[in-house]
Structure 1
């Protein structure tokens, strides 16, 4: 999986959002425009290729105000569909520059 696959799925409306991701976005006051922006201009920082039922990745990106956002995505390679599993603002006590685990 690569970030282009996720980005293309977003741009082509081939994605869906889990209830959990929707709740987390609301809790962290993140709009979906911010989340999508963070993916389109972000990078994969952790790749879980053996995750089942679909490969999964953690994407680091920034919103329009350059605040860090983490989003976790599954990617169904058979249907070319991306699934937003969860999203959150990374805790600086747990992450160095939002990209490296402490």
Structure 2
């Protein structure tokens, strides 16, 4: 997913700092990553969960996209928990 403008929420910046995920890594995941979940009815804009490896680590980025302004909004970024995600980091494990 590529967008002309990218805006990081305060929450995203805080979580990236806490999780030691750089802006460069998040941008790479958004540009080169795979959309693994879509929420088209999310408001105010459709949202996406994007996965890729950046700097050798798996990263999930949640972002929303305003097509009218070609702006992506980074909601959060995190390293997927292996207790929740399958080994490929693309599918959630069934809840027990």
Normalising by the residue count of structure 2, what TM-score does the alignment of the two structures yield?
0.90
Q: Work out whether 1:42 is the aligned partner of 2:9.
A: no
Structure (1 or 2) with the greater helix fraction: 1
Q: Runs of 5+ in structure 1 lacking a partner?
A: none
Q: CA RMSD in A?
A: 1.0
Q: What SS is found at the alignment partner of 1:101?
A: coil
Q: Runs of 5+ in structure 2 lacking a partner?
A: none
CA distance in 1, matches of 2:59, 2:54: 7
User: Paired residues, what number?
Assistant: 92
Q: Work out whether 1:63 is the aligned partner of 2:51.
A: no
The structural deviation recorded for 1:42 is: 0.8
Normalising by the residue count of structure 1, what TM-score does the alignment of the two structures yield?
0.85
Query: Any runs of at least 4 consecutive aligned residues in structure 1 with deviations exceeding 3 A, and if so which?
Result: none
